[in-house]
Structure 1
Amino acid sequence: MTTPLQFEQWSHAMQSRIEHVLTTTMPADTETPITLHQAMRYAVLGGGKRVRALLAYAAGEFCGAPLAHIDISAAAVELIHAFSLVHDDMPCMDDDDLRRGKPSTHKQFGDATALLAGDALQSLAFELIASNQLSIEASQKVNILYCLAFATGSRGMAGGQSIDLESTGIKLSQPQLAHMHALKTGALMHAAAMMGAYTAPNADTQKYQAVDTFAKAIGLTFQVVDDILDAEADSATLGKTAGKDAEQDKSTYVTLLGLNTAKSLAQSLYQQALAPLEAYAQEADMLRSLASFITQRQF
């Protein structure tokens, strides 16, 4: 079993690795159009725990992919995540002035530049996957591109955000809430893990299935824990505005179930995530440790 110290060392190494990949693959802030590139780098670099990149690395390693092959998939999913945060924070969406402990991109650069920065980050994610920087078979690239595109669109993240906006002031049932978050949050986390897995050459089909089941459960776990933290932590701890969902009268797992039941649900989903990994020994330890980190994180 991986110890907490080993996981901490691995996660720090992967966080440093993805930060370097992002820094070197994004346009320089001296390249024209300078303000747009500055905004893109501001939105992406130097913040966040890189959970989606960690999922890509852990799943890719589990399936036998070399780290160098996982890098671009991990970077692409982080770019998509950053794009979603830039747009989500804008006044026409969730209207939040704080992200990752600093002013949101639209507060720093204005609405128009923030909108363009989000658009450009999304395009860059697909550009990286299609480029020669990702040295894998064409069929693997197609799987990764499809996975990310599906998770980003109307049947994934964008669709979940749409449902969220339409549901303000409406009390959702637990199945409705789960469906919304499976799209808004879970789809991209699932994609991150599968994109890492798809970089592995000739991976075992059963491993793909294990990653698929694991990622779906842990994506929902992440959102339940987010709702708990939103209710319990302050803005300085979270790096974003605490209590925002309650202020905007949105349904959360805490408002729907109560704090204690929401915590029990997080633990149940965590066990569901671990179940498909039972057939595997040490090779699945980083996935297990990452699931524990997601469930128990305090920020």
Structure 2
Amino acid sequence: MEFKQSLKEKSNYIESLLDEYKPKEDGYQTTIMEAMNYSLKAGGKRLRPILTLEACKIVGGNEEDAIPFAVAIEMIHTYSLIHDDLPALDNDDLRRGKPTNHKVFGEAMAVLAGDALLNYAFEVMLSNSINKENPQKYLKAINEIAKSVGIYGMIGGQVVDVESEDKSISKEKLDFIHLNKTAAIIIGCMRAGAIIGNADEEQLEKITKYGKNIGLSFQIVDDILDIIGDEAKLGKHVGSDIENNKSTYPSLLGLEKSKEIAKQLIYEAKDSIKDLSQDHSFLDGLANYIIDREY
């Protein structure tokens, strides 16, 4: 219960930051701001921005320095969800218990809202970095995020995911999809936070391993919940992987084996950060939360 309360408090804090940084709804282009904010403020646990701040803090940094990056990573994550939900990709009607962006604003505006959030995220990061005493550090952090969501990260994983639909693929290719489509952005935001917190190479390596393992476990659990999850609790349609004939850990290895792998990854994630000097109890709790959610 203590972890869930802490997660709630941190999520509420991120919500307040999003209110501060979200685009103002005015001008001739008001509709695009409304569409951006509709999805940006649709709720969720806000795990990626929380991880950005936690990574900064766990290496001894000042988490306030990482706030613009935490906000930006949620904007980027939200853009990816808007585009994922489009008829050309996952064709989902619900996201976080609400109608998806294209159901409210139409497909054209949803595409533009995603594009706008991606661009606005980099505007937020850059505008809050160029006047810092050590801009080089912040540029490195921006580069980490850019790589993690680009063709060698999230988008690369999405491409292979789309091309693998209605096909039987190997576990190796499935791991590539999960590690890039889901884990890369988690690794990127944590590395960015740690860099802002002045992490050394050893600390960065530990943070990277943690992010990789919880990212892969998170996606495996998502695959499992798409089969056995409660649609009302998840806030989205379940069974879409089967409907779309997508290869997943459960489809390749079965439910029980998938659960075992996810648990092992969580164990390795916690083990990787146990020697960091700062308090890592929240990151331990988050790892446990990922494996325990809804089953």
TM-score by length of 2: 0.95
Return the match for 1:251 from 247, 252, 257: 247
TM-aligned CA distance change 1:32 to 1:71, over 3 Å: farther
Q: Which moved more, 1:65-74 or 1:96-105?
A: 65-74
- Cα distance in structure 2, aligned partners of 1:271 and 1:226: 18
AA aligned to 1:191 is G
1:38 is the counterpart of 2:34: yes
For 1:278 and 1:284, the matched residues in 2 are separated by 7
Contact 2:42 2:98 in 1 (8 A): no
| Paired residues, number | 294
Q: State the 4+ residue runs in structure 1 displaced beyond 6 angstroms.
A: none
Please state if 1:228 is matched with 2:250: no
Q: Tell me which of 59, 65, 75 is aligned to 1:63.
A: 59
Q: Which residue of 1 aligns with 2:190?
A: 193
**Could you tell me which amino acid in structure 2 is paired with residue 76 of structure 1?**
A
Of 279, 284, 296, which aligns to 2:280? 284
Residue identity in the other structure for 2:222: D
- Report the CA distance shift for 1:149/1:280 in structure 2 as closer, same or farther (over 3 A): closer
Summarize deviations over 1:159-196 as a string: whole Å, max 9, x none: 11111111111112111111111111011111121121
SS of corresponding position for 2:61: coil
2:215 to 197, 214, 219: 219
AA aligned opposite 1:278 = K
Selected match of 1:111 from 107, 111, 128: 107
| Pairwise CA RMSD | 1.7
The alignment status of 1:54 with 2:50, answered yes or no, reads yes
Distance 1:154 1:281 in 2: 34
TM-score by length of 1: 0.94
Identity %: 39
State how far apart, in whole Å, the 1-side matches of 2:22 and 2:129 are. 13
Secondary structure of 1:283's match?
A: coil
Please report how far the alpha carbon of residue 278 of structure 1 lies from its aligned counterpart in structure 2 after TM superposition: 2.8
Tell me if the contact between 2:210 and 2:268 (Cα under 8 Å) persists in the aligned partners.
yes
Q: Aligned match of 2:20 in 17, 20, 24?
A: 24
Asked whether the equivalents of residues 54 and 63 of structure 2 are also in contact (C-alpha less than 8 Å), the reply is no
**d(CA) in 1 for partners of 2:95 and 2:54?**
26
Q: Runs of 5+ in structure 1 lacking a partner?
A: none
Deviation at 1:31, TM superposition (A): 4.3
Distance in 2 (alpha carbons) for counterparts of 1:70 and 1:9: 22
Structure 1 residue 125 displacement after superposition = 0.8
Q: CA deviation at 1:235?
A: 2.1
- From the superposition, tell whether residues 147 and 280 of structure 1 become closer, same or farther in structure 2 (CA, over 3 Å): closer
Q: Secondary structure at the match of 2:279?
A: helix
Task: State the secondary structure of the residue aligned to 2:151.
Answer: coil
Taking structure 1 as reference, are residues 241 and 32 closer, same or farther at Cα in structure 2, changes over 3 Å only?
same
**Does structure 2 retain, via aligned residues, the 8 Å contact 1:148–1:191?**
yes
**Unpaired segments ≥5 residues, structure 2:** none
Equivalent position to 2:161, from 155, 160, 164: 164
Check conservation: 1:31, 1:37, Cα contact below 8 A.
no
Distance 1:268 1:168 in 2: 27
